[in-house]
Amino acid sequence: MTIDRTMIEPLLEIKNLSVSLKKRDNISVAVDDLSLNLYPGEILGLVGESGAGKSMTGSAILGLIESPLYISAGTISLQGRSIIEAPENIRGSQISMIFQDPLVSLNPLKTIGEQLIKTIKTHFNISKAEALDRSKKLLSDVGIDPERIEAYPHTFSGGMRQRVVIALALAPEPSVIIADEPTTALDVSVQAQILNLLKQLCTERGTSIILITHDMGVISETTDRVAVLYSGRLVEIGKTSDVLQRPQHPYTAGLVASTPNIDPSSFDKKLFQIPGAMPDIDDVPDGCAFHPRCEHARDKCQKHRPPLFDARVSCWLSEKPGGTL
Ligand code: SF4
């Protein structure tokens, strides 16, 4: 039986979040009035092209927004507690991050055991021997032989290094993990192993994951729900199977249509391209930000920003029941 997680209390709530950038007298908006919930034990995908605001949203949740960027509006709360002003140890212990490049996340001068033990002892008041035991268990959980605990990061392959990074992210026993393009730097087969590992850990530990990616294939394989971002705005959200099989926003439909397909019958067909490019945050068009690229655009789209209709899609085509692509 599929659990409808949206019937239970959200773990993480983002309400009307805006992240702005001040440049001289000009203020640009990188994340614009974004509201989303993350439910216990779910994997929520954030998808969109570069510049859509995905990583910025992840950084805002972790409190990593730095000047000249700033949070100009909205709230982020974890289990009902505001975390925008939360001390770093609260954010670090309850929300972890997995970055794209494991080499950047790991200290090349320390063994993986030293890094795991240090992380565990930062968050738990336990002895070094207990931290060592937990480190070995974590390595085993992510599919690494615990006997390799004294190895240095450079002695591992890219996929194994990413497993170490996942073990480090799990070490504080967080309730939320933000994974920002965690498999982009890996081979396709290793990518599948890492995505399966994340899904398995999410199920076994009840950890919720926000998976940031530009890859619709990764979204399709891994996530329970997906939020499509464009120009810092939420344009469509829903159950992954609904959104990918029946996209209601023209941008989502374009992303789906431009995803490569390995079905041999599609080999002689030209891959769809969404015309144009994501606008710069200094130059976001009025109305619907997608209108210069949208084949369905009408006058209203150029002047008025569409709200989120039916808690699903921000497009004037869905204003009336039965409105469709
Ligand atoms: Fe296209 Fe208009 Fe919908 Fe924007 S609101 S996606 S321009 S139809």
Minimum-distance ligand 1 atom for the alpha carbon of 250: 6
What are the helix (H) ranges across 206-294? 216-222, 240-245, 250-257
**Interval between CA 236 and ligand 1 midpoint (Å):** 12
DSSP letter at 208 equals E
Pick from 62-71, 85-94, 156-165: least confident: 85-94
Mean pLDDT, residues 59-63: 92
Give the dihedral sign, CA 247/252/253/258: negative
Question: What is the model's pLDDT at position 183?
Answer: 87
Question: 151: exposed, middle or buried (C-beta count within 10 Å: 0-12, 13-18, 19+)?
Answer: middle
Report d(CA 260, CA 42) in Å as an integer.
26
For 55, 57, 136, 217, the CA distances from 202, given in Å and listed in that order, are 21, 21, 19, 19
Residues 18-36 pLDDT 10s: 999 988 888 999 999 999 9
Residues 198-215 pLDDT 10s: 899 888 988 999 999 999
Q: State residue 60 phi and psi, 5-degree precision.
A: -65, -40
Going by pLDDT thresholds of 50, 70 and 90, the confidence category of residue 110 is: very high
Minimum-distance ligand 1 atom for the alpha carbon of 295: 1
Please check the confidence at residue 271 and state whether its pLDDT lies above 90. no
* Ligand 1 pocket test, candidate residues 251, 286, 291, 319, most atoms within 8 A of CB: 291
* Ligand 1 pocket test, candidate residues 290, 312, 318, 324, most atoms within 8 A of CB: 290
Strand partners, 97: 178
Question: Which residues form ligand 1's pocket by a CB distance below 6 Å?
Answer: 249-250, 288, 290-291, 294, 296-297, 301, 306, 315-317
Going by pLDDT thresholds of 50, 70 and 90, the confidence category of residue 193 is: confident
Question: What is the model's pLDDT at position 324?
Answer: 63
Report d(CA 73, CA 95) in Å as an integer.
21
Please check the confidence at residue 233 and state whether its pLDDT lies above 80. yes
Please check the confidence at residue 253 and state whether its pLDDT lies above 80. yes
For 25, 86, 100, 102, 315, the CA distances from 162, given in Å and listed in that order, are 42, 28, 9, 5, 38
Any idea what the Cα angle at residue 311 is, between residues 309 and 224, rounded to 5°?
Answer: 135
Minimum-distance ligand 1 atom for the alpha carbon of 288: 4
Report d(CA 199, CA 20) in Å as an integer.
33
